[in-house]
């Protein structure tokens, strides 16, 4: 029956879909307590605070080293002035021959004394230079962070950054699949997963909004599926709920299309964003595999049905030929009966004729 056929080919898939929805519901219940919709802002503020703290600490070290460097030469000179003065006094009290020898030794000692601050100064200058280089790097990072924050305030910039995060995560974790960034092609956006022997084509759209993702973006997602002729899509929000009766997660169908929606911002543990992205695509991938399997089974069923139809046609043709043979047999039977009757009649005529001939000659 049609009900049995539906159950045979779609029952397991429907159950698998229901199981996945149940798994997501259970997962949501576990992480709901830790949801923080302000997570991106908290991360940004924490990074900026750490950078400022490091800069203050490094600048304090540089100032201390610079002060030490500037004070080093006077301190050494003061420390050595006593021994040098004593040597000068001894020298003046000795004969000229010894004075000359001591003059040479004192000059050598002064050269060594003069070279000590320069050696230390060179070493200190290197450390100061390294520290200044580190400060420049921190300032560069701070500027990059500032540019990132500004870019995050623009919808296009947020989408581009989000795509790169999602794209990198997917490429690194699903190496058997082929991903393509299609943001710059014909007005399309986001990521396309190429059709393969294991998957149908999949469209992945990434949204990064400070407030809830508007329902217009959900409608655009369904239009993009039609535009790409993709049977299934994955809608990822990087930190905010999704309007249009979606919320933080939902699996929805529209016509013959399937959409998997997930706000990965609910995974606010270390590495949670990446885990959320992997989970969203994993669920979508399972639906894609099931859909492809259904297609193959449908094609196999069509081929079987065609073969059965062909056999039925051949059987009908054979039956028609058998019917014709039967009719010919019936005609032959009639002809045989007529022939037998004709032979009997001929025998009777022959016998009667023989009698008449015999009577003539007797």
The torsion angles phi and psi of 234, rounded to 5 degrees, stand at -125, 120
User: How many domains is the chain built from?
Assistant: 2
Residue 98 has pLDDT above 60, yes or no: no
Q: Are residues 44 and 14 in the same domain?
A: no
- Whether residue 76 lies inside any domain: the answer is yes
Contact 78, 113 (CB under 8 A): no
pLDDT of residue 347: 82
CA 237 to chain centre: 14
pLDDT band at 110 (very low <50, low <70, confident <90, very high): low
Q: Are residues 62 and 197 in the same domain?
A: no
Where does a domain end: 240, 263, 295?
A: 295
Task: State the Cα–Cα distance between residues 100 and 106, nearest whole angstrom.
Answer: 10
Where does a domain end: 152, 180, 215?
A: 152
Q: Are residues 64 and 142 in the same domain?
A: yes
- Whether residue 304 lies inside any domain: the answer is no
- Whether residue 89 lies inside any domain: the answer is yes
Q: Are residues 163 and 285 in the same domain?
A: yes
Q: Are residues 58 and 168 in the same domain?
A: no
| Count of C-beta atoms within a 10 Å radius of residue 301 | 13
- Whether residue 242 lies inside any domain: the answer is yes
Q: Are residues 92 and 25 in the same domain?
A: no
Where does a domain end: 275, 295, 315?
A: 295
Q: Are residues 121 and 166 in the same domain?
A: no
Q: Are residues 174 and 56 in the same domain?
A: no
Residue range of the domain that includes 193: 2-34+155-295
Per the confidence metrics, is the pTM higher than 0.85?
no
- Whether residue 93 lies inside any domain: the answer is yes
Q: Are residues 11 and 160 in the same domain?
A: yes
Q: Are residues 227 and 105 in the same domain?
A: no
Q: Is 150 helix (H, G, I), strand (E, B) or coil?
A: helix
Residue-wise pLDDT tens digits, 210-234: 899 999 999 999 999 999 889 999 9
Q: Are residues 280 and 160 in the same domain?
A: yes
- Whether residue 194 lies inside any domain: the answer is yes
Contact 32, 266 (CB under 8 A): yes
DSSP 165-187: HHHHHHHHH-TTS-EEE-TTSTT
Q: Are residues 27 and 51 in the same domain?
A: no
Q: CB-hemisphere CA count at 13 Å for 225? A: 21
pLDDT band at 259 (very low <50, low <70, confident <90, very high): very high
> Strands, DSSP E only, in 83-194?
179-181, 191-193
Residue-wise pLDDT tens digits, 127-144: 556 655 655 665 555 554
pLDDT band at 35 (very low <50, low <70, confident <90, very high): very low
């Amino acid at each position: 029956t049609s009900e049995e056929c539906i159950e045979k080919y779609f029952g397991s898939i429907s159950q698998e879909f229901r199981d996945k929805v149940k798994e997501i519901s259970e997962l949501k219940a576990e992480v709901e307590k830790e949801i923080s919709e302000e997570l991106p802002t908290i991360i940004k503020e924490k990074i900026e605070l750490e950078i400022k703290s490091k800069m203050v600490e490094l600048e304090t070290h540089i100032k201390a080293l610079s002060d030490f460097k500037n004070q080093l030469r006077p301190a050494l000179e003061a420390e050595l002035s006593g021994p040098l003065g004593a040597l000068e006094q001894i020298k003046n009290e000795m004969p000229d021959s010894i004075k000359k020898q001591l003059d040479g030794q004192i000059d050598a000692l002064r050269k060594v004394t003069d070279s000590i601050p320069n050696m230390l100064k060179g070493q200190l200058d290197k450390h100061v230079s390294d520290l200044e280089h580190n400060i420049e790097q921190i300032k560069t990072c701070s500027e990059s962070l500032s540019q990132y924050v500004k870019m995050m305030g623009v919808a296009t910039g947020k989408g581009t950054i989000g795509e790169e995060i999602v794209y990198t995560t997917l490429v690194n974790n699903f190496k058997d699949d082929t991903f393509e960034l299609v943001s710059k092609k014909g007005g399309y956006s986001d990521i396309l997963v190429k059709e393969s022997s294991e998957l149908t084509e999949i469209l992945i759209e990434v949204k990064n909004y400070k407030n809830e993702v508007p329902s217009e973006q959900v409608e655009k997602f369904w239009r993009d599926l039609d535009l790409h002729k993709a049977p299934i899509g994955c809608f990822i929000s990087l930190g905010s709920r999704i309007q249009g009766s979606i919320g933080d997660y939902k699996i929805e169908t529209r016509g013959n299309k399937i959409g998997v929606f997930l706000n990965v911002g609910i995974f606010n543990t270390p590495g949670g964003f990446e885990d959320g992205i992997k989970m969203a695509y994993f669920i979508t991938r399972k639906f894609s595999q099931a859909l492809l399997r259904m297609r193959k089974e449908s094609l196999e069923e069509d081929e079987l049905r065609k073969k059965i139809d062909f056999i039925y046609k051949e059987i009908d043709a054979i039956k028609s030929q058998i019917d014709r043979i039967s009719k010919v047999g019936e005609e032959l039977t009639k002809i045989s009966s007529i022939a037998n009757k004709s032979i009997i009649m001929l025998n009777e005529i022959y016998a009667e004729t023989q009698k008449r001939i015999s009577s003539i000659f007797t």
